[in-house]
Amino acid sequence: MDIIKLKNGDRRSLSKTLTMIEKGDLKSADIKEFFPAINEAEVWAITGSPGVGKSCISEHIIDNWLQENKKIAVLAVDPSSPLSGGALLGDRIRISNSDNSDNLFYRSLATRGQSGAIPSNISDMIKLFSALDYEKILIETVGAGQAEVRVASVSKFIILVEAPDSGDILQAEKAGLMELADIIVVNKSDLERANEKAEQLKLALQLSENESPNVFLISAKEKLGFKDLFLEMKELEKNKKENKSKSKISLSFAWESLLWNYKGIDLILQKLESEKITIKEAINEIMEEFKID
Ligand SMILES: Nc1nc2c(ncn2[C@@H]2O[C@H](COP(=O)(O)OP(=O)(O)OP(=O)(O)O)[C@@H](O)[C@H]2O)c(=O)[nH]1
Ligand SMILES: [Mg+2]
């Protein structure tokens, strides 16, 4: 890691450093050591089923931040499934924002087939971007399963995207995403049934024990409804509402990260496999060493 180059904004060094974090070769403790004074970027996740329009919406959000001269990092987790036929967000923002490229850094990350380490690497990446004075981080992730919910939980703010054609809202409820969202947008308001979808969502939200997020109708294609969305985002950055469900998930995720980053984990797994120790003994052994930094 070339600290001087990194601090001077060298993008190649940043890419290389991110790869080190991705591989687990660089941990938050190392980052803290090299960058003692760490600012905190505002981290936003945008999540929802494949094809609901996350990338199209992200483009508008990024443009808006760029107009405010913000330094932005975009992380796309498992970008564009071939299923939905969506174009890669990275390609799009590279094309549309080539003039502003200094203020915008894009990176895609794969989660498929990986262990629980990936989201914890994302939080280390967030630390690095924050240390390099990035002010906004946008994480695009398909909100389908537990891994994605965890990715979303490393971010401070979550936008859940729905669309008239995004299927049953039960899907988002099942994944726990409705509980976690700070903002819900119904995209594709240019299509029929968008209003109906928004009403269904509002009804479903009435049953939640948390304070309900606001629901916005937008069209990324026609660029409609974004003014209100941006105002709400600003408002939330000023007055973040705490949310018990999110705290629970964040806590259990932090707990798991500790576990999988524990240096003796391989040995413990071996001992468990050969039945030299019980689960209870394994936990006791790990607890001896647990220390949160
Ligand atoms: N009619 C309409 N189509 C839209 C709108 N926003 C996005 N789309 C279309 O929906 C498709 C998917 O858009 P993406 O932004 O790639 O969706 P995504 O959620 O990022 O998709 P994945 O990354 O594959 O999960 C594209 O064909 C878009 O042109 C909208 O507001 N109205
Ligand atoms: Mg996308």
Residue 49's CATH number: 3.40.50.300
Count of structural domains, the chain = 2
Residues 136 and 258 in one domain: no
143-162 pLDDT, tens digit per residue, is 666 666 676 667 889 899 99
Is the CB of residue 141 below 6 angstroms from any atom belonging to ligand 1? no
Q: What is the enclosing helix (H) or strand (E) of 251?
A: helix 244-261
Rounded to whole angstroms, how far apart are CA atoms 140 and 48? 9
Instruction: Please check whether residues 100 and 145 belong to one and the same domain.
Output: yes
Range of the domain at 272: 253-289
DSSP for residue 103: G
For ligand 1, whether the C-beta of 221 sits within 6 Å is yes
pLDDT in tens, 220-257: 999 999 999 999 999 999 987 777 777 777 777 777 77
Tell me, yes or no, whether 280 and 213 share the same domain.
Answer: no
Same domain, 213 and 270: no
Phi, psi (5° rounding) for residue 186? -100, 110
Residues of 151-175 as b/e, b for ≥16 C-beta within 10 angstroms? bbbbbbbbbbbbbbebeebebbbeb
> Domain for residue 208, yes or no?
yes
Does residue 229 share a domain with residue 136?
A: yes
Contact assessment for residue 200 and residue 206, using Cβ atoms and an 8 Å cutoff: no
User: Residue 250: its pLDDT value, please?
Assistant: 73
User: Which atom of ligand 1 is nearest to 187's Cα?
Assistant: 31
Quick check: 111 pLDDT over 80?
Answer: no
- Ligand 1 atom closest to 218 (CA): 31
Helix axes 279-289 and 265-273, enclosed angle (nearest 10): 170
The answer to whether residues 52 and 101 belong to one domain is: yes
Q: Which ligand is nearest to the CA of 220?
A: 1
Average pLDDT score, the chain: 82
- What residues are paired with 159 via a beta bridge? 46, 183
The candidate with the shortest Cα–Cα distance to 254, out of 28, 17, 22, is: 28
| Per-residue pLDDT band at 61 (split at 50, 70, 90) | very high
User: Ligand 2 centroid vs 58 CA: distance in angstroms?
Assistant: 9
The answer to whether residues 127 and 38 touch, using CB atoms and an 8 Å cutoff, is yes
What spacing in Å lies between the alpha carbon of 42 and ligand 1's midpoint? 25
Q: How many angstroms separate the CA atoms of 100 and 270, rounded?
A: 51
pTM of the model: 0.84
Whether residues 171 and 275 share a domain: the answer is: no
pLDDT for residue 133: 92
Give 118-130 pLDDT, tens digit per residue: 556 888 899 899 9
230 and 271 inside one domain: no
Read off the pLDDT of residues 267-277 as tens digits, 9 standing for 90 and up: 999 999 999 99
